[in-house]
Every structure is written in C-alpha cells, then in structure tokens.
Amino acid sequence: MAGYCEDIVLISVFGSAHIDIIGHFLDESSVIDHVGVVDFRVGGTAYNVAAACRRAGRETRLITALPRSALAQFVQAEIAESGMEVRMVETGGHMVGAFSGHVGRDGKLVSAVSFTPIETISFDPEWLSQAISASRLMIADCNLSIDALCLGAQTAQRSGIPYWLAGVSEIKAERAVRAIERGYHVDLLQVNTVECKHLCNTVHAENAAAIARQWRVTLVVTNGKHGATLYTDEGLSTVFTPRQHDIVSAEADATCAGDVLLGQMAASWIRTGDITKSVEAASIIVGEFIRSRTSSTGDGHDHKDLYQSLDRHLQTVADHASRDSMTGLYNRRQAEAAMKQLPPWEPCALVLIDIDQFKHINDTYGHVQGDTIIHEVASILQSCVRNNDIAARWGGDEFLLLLRNISHNDAEMVILRIMAAIQSSSSPIAFSCSVGAQLFSIAEMTTNEAFIAADGALYEVKNHGRNGYRIETHGHQ
C-alpha cells in the first residue's frame, strides 16, 4: 500500500452516524435489569472513525445519510461542531439509526442491538464520486449495504485511492466478504477478534492469516486494551501488544476503541505511508483513549464528559423552542407558560412595551434599520431585568416583561431605567417607546385580565402623545 506524505490531505469516511446508548454494568449479578450508568452520545462507526481522523489533525469528510427529524438535527449539529466536512443524503421518514450496547465490568460488550437504516439506502454513483473528490483515502463501514460497499470500492478504484473497510459486527462484517467475492478490491479490512472468528467460520478459513492470503487484503484484528494484530496479504503477522505502562485496568470501557484505532491508523498512514508503523502508533493512542475512560471513583468509568454533547444540544433545542430567533428574548409561548406557573399571591408586574411609529421607521429607513432598532430594544430590556424575570418579544415591535415579586416603586424604577436607556441609545435613528403596565397577583386577577389592563394603559400613553409610561395597580402599594 502506497501512502502520501502531504501535510494536508483529505480522508473520506463513508457510513453511519447515529445515536449511541451505552449501559455500563456496575454490578456482577446475573439479573436482567442491572444497576449501572447509561451514556448518550453521537456514534456510528463512520462518525467515530472520522472524528478520530479529525482529532489527529487530518482534513476529514464524513459521507452519510440522515432523515429530516429532531434527533437527526442533534446528530448533524454534533457532526458540524466536530469540524469535519459533511456530504449527506437526506432520507425519508424520521427514524434515526441507533446502537444500544451493554458493557460489563471487564469493559467488554456483553450484548447490543443496532438499528442502522443507512443499510437500506442506495447511493447515486455520480453523487458519491463527487463526495469523495480530492480524497486520498476512502474508508467505509459495513453498516452500509453490500451494494453500497461495492459502489464504494468501484468509486475509490476510479479515483485511484485506497479503500478500507471497517467490519462493525459479526453479521455485518460478512458484507465485506460478499463485496470481495463479487470481485471488488479492498486494500484493508479491520475487524475485532469476535468478528474475525465469525469470518473464519463463514469462509472456512483456518485463521486470520489465511483470510488475508485468500482475499489478498491487509487485515487488522483489534483486541481492545490488549492491542491489535496486523496480517499482510502474504500472510505475515505482526502483534502490537501495549507496553506495560499502557495496559489499562480491567474496568476500562473499550467501546469505540476499534473505531478510534482505525481513524488514528488512517491519519498516521496518510503521513508515513507505512501501515506497520501506523498500526503501532494507533495502538498507543487507543491505549490512552481507553485509559481516559477509567476513573478513580470506583465505578470503572469516567462519565463527566459523555453527557455534555447531548446536554448541549438539548439545551439548543430548548432554546429554539423557547427563544425568539431574531432577538434571543423569550418568545410569546414561553412567556405565556411562565405566567401560568405564577404562585397565587406573588406580586408581579406585567409590562408591555411598543416601539413608537415603527411602521414609519420601516417605511422611511427600511426594514434593516427597523430590525436594528428591535435588536437595540431587546438588548436594553434584557439588561434591565433580573434572572428570574421574563423578557419576551410578544410579536413584531411589541415586547412583554413579567417582573416577579416586585413592588410598585421597583416596577416603576425598572420602567424608568428602560426609558432612560432608550433615550440615550447610540442608534443613528432616533426612536422612542410607549409603556403600559399592570401590577397584579394571580389571586386578585387572571393573567389575561392583567394583560388587557396593561394593554389599555399602553394605549392611554399612545393616545396622549407616546414616549411615556402608565402603571395600573390592583391592590399594590
């Protein structure tokens, strides 16, 4: 296998990106429902390999397929944040691929269920050819269908670049066999020890070396924390056993270790062109990867960063649902939800703010300048309220504040602070706002009644020349 020595190269990884749900056993009982910890993260063999290539500093492109759905958007957001390029086919339906696995205290996978709808996708040959353009290496995972694996081999051969396959699982690794049996060339195949044993039984090969010779393929067999073995197409083998200080504890989580090894191996091979040195270097990094998943807390796993990705994107989804996309303030729905949750006797102020003669501003200066003023008002409102208050864009140039646990005097001070900030605005276009407010508690009047009263106060201000405020009270001092 010939390599390339350029500093900046492109590795295309073709296959699955999906959700991983990994359960870690914390007990050793034989019960069905174990005590443990569950991790949620973005996974998929292709994604994991591409992410490892990217972490190794290589320009990487992920070629995958995802539906149009909320879960798929979470996966896409994580892919984008990783810094890799993406070429994606949008599929029908809403089903996102997922891998659900159980890991024992020894770090080995006990059982798993995978759902990978990408194996039902037929890829357009011309599209795939364009997707791998400028690549120096193509890697595919066996989550793809046999036809897609064959198309990948054909596309790589036409582009004059090597083609590597990742086995994924015992059953799916058989797809590599079928592609080779159809006459398609594969330069390197990576499987783990369980997958390799299954393949030997499937093709009636004596051992891994016989498979490498029979298929004329470079075969890499991984064994988690115990290293990897490289078999050449001549049947020669090299064992890479971790050095003594690289050996990790028995409780280390080795899931995804093979994907990390393949990605690091590809990144190293691109630089050196030497597959033996690349497997050796990647084995060391994988040892560090597995060891990083071991904590000193006694449960055998370090979980502190595994939830961050999901939490971050769930927060993004929550923000999209509750925030106005233009201003970043809460939207009308979130403000209404907050008003429904008020304690009965809590003194509150419902404040409505309206930009004066906003249509005239838009007609005279254009909508871009109008949007700038909306942003300015939103920024002022956000800076004048407390963390437990609600500042929302009610619609168009109208805003709503829900000031919690507040007196008449304090509510008036907030309104005066807002109006002073508007008057001293650095906006090149002079503008003003009218404000109407109602002080209330749920025990005294409904939020709908408070809104109607505040709206009436606002229009009183507008009818008396605008650029002012009026506060209505209901039993408040």
pLDDT at 255: 73
Helix (H) or strand (E) holding 340: helix 332-340
Give the CATH number of domain 10-314. Answer: 3.40.1190.20
pLDDT at 299: 42
Structural contact between residues 253 and 303, judged by C-beta atoms closer than 8 angstroms = no
Structural contact between residues 121 and 128, judged by C-beta atoms closer than 8 angstroms = no
Q: Is the pLDDT of residue 251 over 90?
A: no
**Coil/strand/helix, residue 129:** helix
pLDDT at 303: 39
Q: Distance between CA atoms of 43 and 60, rounded to whole angstroms?
A: 16
Residue 346 contacts by C-beta under 8 Å, 6 or more apart in sequence? 404, 405, 441, 442
> What is the bridge-based pairing of β-strands 218-222 and 188-192?
parallel
User: C-alpha distances in angstroms, 459 versus 249, 332, 391, 452, 463?
Assistant: 72, 20, 20, 11, 6
Q: Distance between CA atoms of 334 and 269, rounded to whole angstroms?
A: 52
Domains of the chain, by residue range, sit at 10-314, 325-472
Q: Distance between CA atoms of 168 and 148, rounded to whole angstroms?
A: 15
More confidently predicted of 291 and 177: 177
pLDDT at 476: 45
What is the per-residue pLDDT across 62-113, written as a single tens digit (0 to 9) for each? Answer: 999 998 887 787 788 888 888 889 999 988 777 889 999 888 877 778 888 9
pLDDT at 285: 83
Q: Residue 385: pLDDT band by 50, 70, 90 thresholds?
A: very high
What is the per-residue pLDDT across 25-40, written as a single tens digit (0 to 9) for each? Answer: 888 788 888 888 888 8
- Mean residue pLDDT of the chain comes to 87
Asked: is 325-472 a CATH 1.10.3720.10 domain? The reply is no
What is the per-residue pLDDT across 398-409, written as a single tens digit (0 to 9) for each? Answer: 999 999 999 999
pLDDT at 224: 77
Model's pTM, two decimal places? 0.68
Q: Is the pLDDT of residue 155 over 90?
A: yes
> What is the bridge-based pairing of β-strands 137-141 and 163-166?
parallel
> What proportion of the chain, given as a percentage, has pLDDT over 70?
88
**Coil/strand/helix, residue 414:** helix
Q: Is the pLDDT of residue 414 over 90?
A: yes
pLDDT at 247: 52
Average pLDDT of 130-150? Answer: 96
pLDDT at 198: 94
Q: Is the pLDDT of residue 131 over 60?
A: yes
Q: Distance between CA atoms of 392 and 395, rounded to whole angstroms?
A: 9
Least confident of 114-118, 178-182, 256-260: 256-260
Q: Is the pLDDT of residue 301 over 50?
A: no
What distance separates the 2 farthest-apart alpha carbons in the chain? Answer: 95
What is the per-residue pLDDT across 443-467, written as a single tens digit (0 to 9) for each? Answer: 999 999 999 999 999 999 999 999 9
Using the 8-state DSSP alphabet, how is residue 330 labeled? B
Q: Is the pLDDT of residue 309 over 90?
A: no
Residue in 117, 114, 148, 146 with CA at minimum distance from that of residue 131: 148
Average pLDDT of 194-200? Answer: 93
pLDDT at 243: 60
pLDDT at 296: 36
